[in-house]
Amino acid sequence: MLYLTSTPKSIGALLVQDVDEAERPVYYISWKIRGAEVRYTPVERHCLALVFTAQKLRHYFLAHHIQIVTRSDPIQYLLSKLALIGKVARWLLALGEFEITCVAPKAIKSQALADLLAQFPSGDYEPVNEELRGEVHAAMASDESFWTLSFDGAAAGGKGGTGIVLTSKSGEKLYLSYKLNFHCLNNEAEYEALILGLIAAEKHSIKKIRIRGDSKLIVKQGSGQFVLKEPALVTYRTTVQRLLDKF
């Protein structure tokens, strides 16, 4: 479980493990916030705290289902935005690879310790690494039981772009697209698009999905029907298969 807290000048986090119905501290984090971050609202500071902590404790987050114990639900805040742009989009995609849920505070002692850490931040200022590949723009759509994911990606001159459309049975649509500001080939761009679509579907609590793409190679590799011969695509296929297990 992860306890988050923040003040206008600092943020604190406490990772605990439930052992024999007792919470045992695993890791403490506290740091100062500066620049534009001091103008964040309380819930935005909680989002910042979660993203920063996930980056610092990524090995814990990947290995375990993390329960966030906090008064303000940062995940629900991100999903409630009508448009995903700027830092909100970057935060949501940065958290997409983790199993995270939020629960109401119960252990007063652990929350008090997290609050105390925020009052006395340790170490120098360390900015949150918000770098993600490209710019994301999205419009939110309501959840339905069955959705169709259409994805496409292309590269030219070493750079590329991706786009996805999630369509519900009733015709509602969710659009996302972003630029790939790094050297890539067409197959890599196609995988980037598919991964973006699967993360978006998961974050909208979509459970049943049909996937359509114009790249037979990516579709067949992702479903395990084609043998993977390009080493550069191994990580992409592994990520896709991990995400597909959630649907």
Residue 155: predicted pLDDT: 83
Q: To which residue do tokens 């906090």 refer? A: 70
Q: Over its length of 247 residues, how does the chain's per-residue pLDDT go in tens digits?
A: 888 877 788 887 888 887 777 777 778 777 788 888 888 888 888 888 888 888 888 888 888 888 887 766 777 777 666 555 677 777 877 787 788 887 776 655 445 545 544 444 554 444 545 444 444 444 444 444 789 999 998 887 777 888 888 998 888 888 887 777 778 888 888 888 898 888 888 878 888 999 998 888 888 887 777 777 778 788 888 888 888 888 9
Nearest in space to 165 (alpha carbons), one of 157, 173, 155: 173
- State how far the Cα of 221 lies from the Cα of 199, in Å rounded to an integer: 18
Measured CA to CA, the distance from residue 161 to residue 147 in angstroms comes to: 23
Contact (Cβ atoms closer than 8 angstroms) between residue 142 and residue 169: no
- Copy the structure tokens of residue 151: 């994805």
pTM recorded for the entire structure: 0.46
- Can you give the pLDDT at residue 149? 93
pLDDT at 151: 92
From the list 62, 90, 67, 66, the residue with the least C-alpha distance to 78 is 90
CA quadruple 128, 131, 135, 139: dihedral sign: negative
Pairwise CA distance, residues 135 & 4, whole Å: 28
Distance CA 64, CA 135 (A): 29
The first and second tokens of residue 59, run together, are 């090995």
